[in-house]
């Protein structure tokens, strides 16, 4: 039988390392999947549910802060002019304040666009605070 004191170093090591283990927030992965699906489909209306009340939106150099309804209309116009063919997320991460970001590429119309969006937790739900769609060089 192992003496309980012999397990103490293992327990202490686990207590030290556990806080550094990255555990995804509940719902975060689902939110990202739904956002990517909506972008891929060119479905601005589906993004409405994931926008914060006010959204920092930048499309090809035109940047401003819009209500979620205004941002949805602007995206609808963009998707009409640039039908989406594909979206690929190339990098995701988080900041110390708990916000999450995603960076990727969108093939739309005859162009390639770089996309970036920032999610912040509002009332227990991750919402898009910022969305950037910039034409790649």
Q: Which residues of 47-77 are buried (b: 16+ CB within 10 A; e: fewer)?
A: bbebbbeebbbebeeeeeebebeebbebbbe
- Give, for all 137 residues of the chain, the pLDDT tens digit: 555 555 555 555 555 544 444 444 445 578 999 999 999 999 999 999 999 999 999 998 889 999 999 999 999 999 999 999 999 999 999 988 889 999 999 999 999 999 999 999 999 999 999 999 999 97
Q: What six digits make up the tokens of 69? A: 């309804």
Residue 5 is predicted with a pLDDT of 53
Q: What is the pLDDT of residue 24?
A: 47
User: Alpha-carbon distance 6 to 25, whole Å?
Assistant: 34
Residue 12 inside a domain? The answer is no
User: Does residue 59 lie within any of the structural domains?
Assistant: yes
Give residue 44's domain range.
Answer: 24-135
Instruction: Tell me how many domains the chain contains.
Output: 1
- DSSP-derived letter for residue 85 is E
6 occurs within a structural domain: no
CA neighbor of 84 nearest in space, from 105, 108, 104, 106: 108
Residue 26: the pLDDT is 46
Give residue 80's Cα distance to chain centre.
23
Domain of residue 43, CATH code:
3.10.450.50
In a domain, 11, yes or no: no
Q: Is residue 10 part of a domain?
A: no
Q: What's the alpha-carbon Rg for the chain, to the nearest Å?
A: 20
CB 102 within 8 A of CB 133: no
SS3 86: strand
pLDDT at position 95, please? Answer: 87
């Amino acid at each position: 039988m192992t003496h309980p004191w012999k397990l103490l170093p293992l327990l202490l090591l686990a207590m030290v390392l556990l806080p550094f283990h990255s555990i995804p927030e509940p719902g975060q992965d689902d939110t990202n999947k739904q956002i990517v699906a909506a972008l891929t489909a060119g479905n601005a209306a589906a993004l409405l549910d994931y926008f914060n009340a006010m959204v920092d939106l930048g499309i090809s150099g035109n940047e401003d802060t819009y209500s979620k309804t205004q941002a949805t209309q602007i995206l609808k116009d963009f998707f009409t002019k640039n039908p989406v063919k594909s979206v690929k997320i190339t990098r995701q991460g988080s900041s110390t304040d708990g916000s999450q970001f995603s960076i990727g590429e969108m093939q739309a119309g005859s162009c390639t666009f770089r996309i970036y969006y920032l999610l912040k937790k509002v009332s227990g739900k991750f919402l898009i605070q910022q969305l950037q769609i910039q034409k790649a060089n």
